[in-house]
Structure 1
Amino acid sequence: MEAGPASPAPSPDAASAAIRDEALRLGFDAVGFAPAHLGPEVRQRLDAFLAAGMQGGMGWLADRAEQRAHPRALWPEAVSVIALGMNYGPEEDPLSILGQRDRAAISVYARNKDYHDIVKKRLKALARWMVDRWRGSELKVFVDTAPVAEKPLAQQAGLGWQGKHSNLVSRTHGSWLFLGEIYTTLDLAPSAPEVDHCGRCTRCLSACPTDAFVGPYRLDARRCVSYLTIEHKGPIPEEFRAAMGNRIYGCDDCLAVCPWNKFAQAAREPGLMPREDLNTPRLAALAALDDAAFRALFSGSPVKRIGRDRFVRNVLIAIGNSGDAGLRPVAKQLTADPDPVVAEAAQWAVRRLNTPA
């Protein structure tokens, strides 16, 4: 994005202060600045992850590894990075639903509008403001889907640090920040990088239901409930099914137990507040969704992107884990589903409900 004849180059300090004020006015909750450069440890960590095959079916992580590890490999003209965060903290404990076995647990971030759309809209508004103010400068905006090392950049920009669960942790917002970035040709005053405040705590590692952490800061995505319910396209390996419980889209366990969440506040953006019908939906109702009903229920939601078949597969695993014999007919009705993955999950659920606890 660029515009008009060039304006005089701003001082780095003045430009950073002005951008911070405008970003906060637009509704961002965290703002920081960093040079468009990352140290070799980011690439080394990514290479080790990929060499171990822990990305599973997420082939795009390897396809654009160079651009992910080096901002200027993605855009050589970039001078500075503006890291921005939006708080999506829940009002209540997101793990409380795990005991309601006839209900579905949907990850906090997916209970309303797709955050990509919300964050990108704010990023574009800030980008337009910047281009209008400093004509001749150029920039690019990114939200999650581009090969950007969001968490290392956010740490370098002072928004937080990568915790032992590999997600960003903020001293102000806990584990509940959506991230977005603006790469710009402006020379901006950098923020002080954040340091690791995890100490000896390992609550996030212990909380994982499928033991997806091979060590602190090392997540094997192939074992992660978020990966299994969202990215994985085939049948879910049986070794993980019982541990999934009633989690049908994503998993909040490692995030929710972080002690830094005691400083977090509930989201203030309406589009990030949970919809009442997605807080504790009944498994029986979700299993009955056909493609049209699924699309209607999750219109504008990130859940929509996995499609009805993968979604109902997840619901059937939760039904099998429910211990509720009343849900057996629901599963039995789907044992002949046209999608073989759905049919297999339904057959597994029926067998499991037929087996005495």
Structure 2
Amino acid sequence: MIPMLDIKRELNLIGDEIKEAVESSIKETRFILGPNVESFEKEVADYLGVKYAVGVASGTDALHLALRALGVKEGDEVITVPFTFIATAEAILYCNAKPVFVDVDKETMNMDVNQLEEKITEKTKVIIPVHLFGNPANMDVILEIAKKYNVKVLDDCAQSFGALYKGKKVGGFADASAFSFFPSKNLGCYGDGGLITTNDEEVYKTLKALRNHGSFVRYHHEMLGYNSRLDDIQAAILRVKLKYIDKFTEDRRSIAGRYIDSLKDIVDIQKENSDGVHVFHQFTIVSDKRDRIIEKLKEHEIASAIYYPVPIHLQKSFEKFGYREGDFPVSEYLAEKVVSLPINPFLEDEEVDVIIEVVKVSVNE
């Protein structure tokens, strides 16, 4: 069996370090906002090249709290894309704001910046670009438009830890950036976890209060806050894995390169931003023969996944906004055609060869 994610192989490599880190955290007995959280926040901020990092309970919370810290409230509009995980848009609804969608570019699968400006109104508060599957979005244009209309930017970095845009790591361009440490992520913990980065001191201070019941001083609650704190044990795990992230990214990019060289003439492949470095959280292809590819992979005990079979605007939980099929044709097209292949950094060369061959046979037969 070739899985999408292989934590067992990961543990074979770094399991002893993980065990030592977890045991150390347990012995310290400071599980909530403990020393590993503080240390991880400093280390990850340094890695990403930002001033501030705030650990929270999940990537979804990172999006939600960041929107709150940026001042989003009822009646505001927040612009994002419909081809992403639903958490991107859920966070907007948590603020009682209205999600406004911009279709994605067919090649990069990121926000089509040519359609962005026409969606901005006097109610627009924030733009949320998504670096989908680890591919950096076109931040220069997005930031330029946001500045023109005095709109904030929160980029969804849940799938793009370590990705580069014009030589700089994503997470430091926008007013705030949201990361996820779900176990399948490039930098993932062994449970739920998330992070918000910012270079704005006021946003940072607000986030620290929001994640801890709205409290700047213990038992004094100046705003409605939340219980959303990164666990010390998870932070200890992330501190170990952060040391390996560049090697894991290199391995992912190497596997992706082999896929691209072998499959580029028989399927469409998500195009890397020419100004960026893709970290391949997922390696995603587009094919009219998706079902056949999935079936053949399954016959050979090879995992695959469809991200995402139903765009957000067509989800039942968003039907009150009145969107219909055809409103965002590229997102709908991709939802019907995409499939992601295994690309975890522990794949053996022989396994990659088998995956490539099965896809080739599936398309050509």
TM-score of the aligned structures, taking structure 2 as reference length: 0.25
Q: TM-score, normalised by structure 1?
A: 0.26
Bigger radius of gyration: 1
